[in-house]
Structures are given as C-alpha cells and as structure tokens.
Amino acid sequence: MKSTPQKRKPPNKRRIISFISAFIVSTIAMVALVLPQNESLLSPGPMNPGHEKLNCDECHLEAEGSSRQQIQANLQYLLGNRDNTVAVGHTSVSNDDCLACHRLPKDNHPVFRFLEPRFSKARRELAPQMCNSCHQEHRGQRVNMAIDSCKTCHKKLELKKEPLKISHKQLIKEKRWKTCLGCHDFHGNHEMKTETDLKKLLTTERIEAYFKDSKSPYSENKKYKAKESRYDEES
C-alpha cells in the first residue's frame, strides 16, 4: 500500500517576519555599537583615573587577519592541525600595550624583575609580572592591589644602614605592612624625599584614597610623565 505523501506546510509568515525584523534590528544595533562615538556603550566599566579620554584602540589593537581567517585558524586548532589559537577581533591587552605610554627609564619595580626565580611565589600569589594585576582597567580606580601586598616579597628584608628610628626588621616582626607605602611610592616615579620618621608617614586612608581616584599624596612632580597616546612620537 503506497503511503500518501505529506503536503509541505506553507511557511509561517509571522515567523518569517519576526526573523527578518530581529535580523534588521540586530544589524542596526551592531553597526551603531561599532561607531567611534558609541565606544562607551561597549565598555565593561568606567576607565581608570587618567584614562578617561582614551579611545578603545589605544589598548585594544585589532588582531591580525580577517575575521574569516581568525575563525578558520581557531577551528584548525580545535581539529589538532595548529599548535596555538589566534586572537579574534582584538588582541588581549599586554604589558607592551601599557608600556607604550608608561615605560619608565628607571623603575623601582619593573615588571621583568618579577620573572626571576626568587619571585616564583609572588608570581603565583599576585602575578606582579603583569601590569594589569595591579592596574586592572574598567574598574574606575588607579590601583586594585591590596595596600599590604609588600609582604609577599619583603618578609626577610634587612638593611645594612637603617634610615629609620625603628628598624625595618622590627616593622616586619610587628607585621606593620601598611606602613611601607607610607614612605615609598611603588615605582619610584615621584620627586620626593623619603621620610625617616614614622610619625610623618602617609596614612593608610590617604594611600587607599589614592588607589581609588584621589590626587597623589606623594608629590605632584614626576620624574617621567606618561604619554597621552601610544601613537605620540617619542619626545
């Protein structure tokens, strides 16, 4: 007995109209979002102090190749035909992107120093070899590291010539780690005289306010000023 062929149902006009409408709206939204004047709509959070006027492409550089090539390369990686993935759309922000504007001729704590074997514990706990471990963007604050993080590397610090009335060794013994940044700025970029009297050191409240978005309590004069754009020519 022959089966009666089922008649194909006519396309649902309402579904087609809904699909076309959604496609048009999505396309318009995507086009609108990629316009330079609408960059702030894509931002995951407020820019950090000093970065408010930067465009997205100052840090988020376009990845190499077309979108099709990027997708194909990553599919080849999943199939085992490539050893590594590639960035899609934009590259991840790296130390080089930060240092394009913030490279210091002399830095008390340059990121490359933390690659030494003796700082393996610090790398596990804090990842100080990465700029964005301390300066995460889109948080609306200058520094996101805890004020007492010095303890990770300096628990065995001893000075041959002690400048303080109370020794650094004693401060460490008393676990007064929040006093460190009361005398020292981390990168050493501020023109300032290091205090030798703990009664005159900067308070924790002032430092934490600076970590958020307040003016520097150290000094307004800097040895080196950051470039306003990575595309500026070197002075």
pLDDT at 70: 85
What CA–CA distances, in Å, run from 214 to 193, 202, 205? Answer: 21, 14, 11
**Residue 190 DSSP class:** B
* Helix spans in the chain (H): 13-34, 67-78, 95-102, 120-125, 131-134, 168-173, 180-183, 204-212
pLDDT of residue 39: 52
pLDDT at 15 (0 to 100): 65
Rama region for 159: left / alpha / beta (φ>0; ψ in -120 to 50; rest)? beta
Query: What is the structure's pLDDT at 90?
Result: 82
Contact 201, 195 (CB under 8 A): yes
Separation of alpha carbons 129 and 107, rounded Å: 13
Strands (DSSP E) contained in 144-213 are none
Rounded Cα distance between 182 and 210, Å, is: 12
Mean pLDDT of successive 10-residue stretches along the chain, which has 235 residues: 55 66 59 50 78 88 87 86 86 92 94 94 94 93 94 91 88 94 94 88 94 91 91 66
pLDDT computed for residue 235 by the predictor: 44
Q: Where are the domains of the chain?
A: 48-92
By CB atoms closer than 10 A (0-12, 13-18, 19+), residue 143 is: buried
Residue 190 pLDDT: 94
Query: Which amino acid is present at 5?
Result: P
- Residues 200 and 21: their CA atoms lie apart, in Å, by 67
